Homo-oligomer: A and B are copies of this chain.
Amino acid sequence: MIRIELQVALRYEIDAHGADFIFNIHAAQTDSQKVSGEWLLVSQPVVLQVHTESATGNRRLRLRAGSGLLALRYTATVELTHHRHPPSMLAEVPVCQLPDDVLGYLYPSRYCESDRLGRLAMQEFGHLPQGGERVQAIARWVQQRISFRSRTSTSTTSAVDTLISQVGVCRDFAHLMIALCRALSIPARFTTGTDYGADPGLGPPDFHAYVEVYLGRRWYIFDPSGTSIPMGFVRFGTGRDASDVAFATIFGNVVTHAPVVSGKAVVDPGIGAEQPQHCLETLSTDAP
């Protein structure tokens, strides 16, 4: 079991008209990702609506803030009990056997134009045996081709853009891997969390984006950016792509300060809490 102490602090300055916010910063609650305690502090006395999406466990916080400073602090203790499988044991699921609520993750989305990548995906990966190792090969291909570099992409950058420019951040790696999977009829979705284990040389801890792929009967974690340690990922949200699960979607004129994010592992053999580490198995925090 992995125990993570999570902290997210956000600050905004809002103009005279106020602004609406939709946040995806709550730890999702699934059978394998349990929230044993959490606190949310909001600096304005506003109505907070938290809605849990039953299909995904995403928790969405909505609020309407008035003019001036808005500060949020979210802390949580999260316990992860991973399903672990060797990738060679994970089968791709024939389309005719996919659950109905998985089908939407086969289709192209704003930042994952899988409908344009059919030939390329078949040429690069069509000859590989189906299964978890093929999906690993896709993640590796993306990691080898794309260079990680801050501030090389924007909020409108898509998988096709990244394939051409060969540079981006974690969001771009994830979008490209998702587009390639869907082009092969493998369901894939965009998932957000924190960049547990990232090289401190790359900057302070930050939000992270990675991929979940439907194999066997679950969603399994892949990190095509290769920057972090998946075993330490706490999932916030999962969706078709970044448009679904932005950390904050803002309607109004707002100055945004840099977020402060932290996810620390509590290691305590007494309670079975281990250190997250790289492993050869494929991990899932999803219920079947």
Q: Which residues of A does B touch, CB under 8 Å?
A: 20, 22, 51, 53, 60, 62-64, 94-96, 100, 103-104, 106-110, 112-113, 115-117, 119-120, 123, 145, 147, 155-156, 160, 163-167, 185, 240, 243-244, 249, 251
Instruction: Collect the chain B residues with CB atoms within 8 Å of residue A116's CB.
Output: 156, 164-165
Instruction: Collect the chain B residues with CB atoms within 8 Å of residue A164's CB.
Output: 116-117, 120, 160, 163-164
Residue of B nearest to A104 (CB): B244
- Whether A110 pairs with B115 at a CB distance below 8 angstroms is yes
- Whether A156 pairs with B109 at a CB distance below 8 angstroms is no
Instruction: Collect the chain B residues with CB atoms within 8 Å of residue A112's CB.
Output: 110
- Whether B96 pairs with A20 at a CB distance below 8 angstroms is yes
A140 to B100, CA, bound (A): 37
Most B CB within 10 A of own CB, among A96, A103, A119, A123: A96
Overall SS of chain A's interface = mixed
Instruction: Collect the chain B residues with CB atoms within 8 Å of residue A244's CB.
Output: 104, 107
A107 to B112, CA, bound (A): 14
Residue of B nearest to A64 (CB): B96
A156 to B157, CA, bound (A): 13
Name the distance in Å between A13's Cβ and chain B's nearest Cβ. Answer: 19
- Whether A20 pairs with B94 at a CB distance below 8 angstroms is yes
- Whether A251 pairs with B166 at a CB distance below 8 angstroms is no
- Whether A108 pairs with B107 at a CB distance below 8 angstroms is no
- Whether B166 pairs with A147 at a CB distance below 8 angstroms is no
A107's partner among B110, B115, B117 (CB-CB below 8 A) is B110
A160 to B165, CA, bound (A): 10
- Whether B243 pairs with A107 at a CB distance below 8 angstroms is yes
Can you spell out 21 A-B residue pairs with CB atoms less than 8 angstroms apart? A20-B95, A51-B100, A53-B100, A60-B100, A60-B103, A64-B95, A64-B96, A95-B251, A106-B249, A109-B110, A109-B243, A115-B155, A115-B156, A116-B164, A116-B165, A117-B164, A119-B165, A119-B167, A120-B165, A163-B163, A163-B164
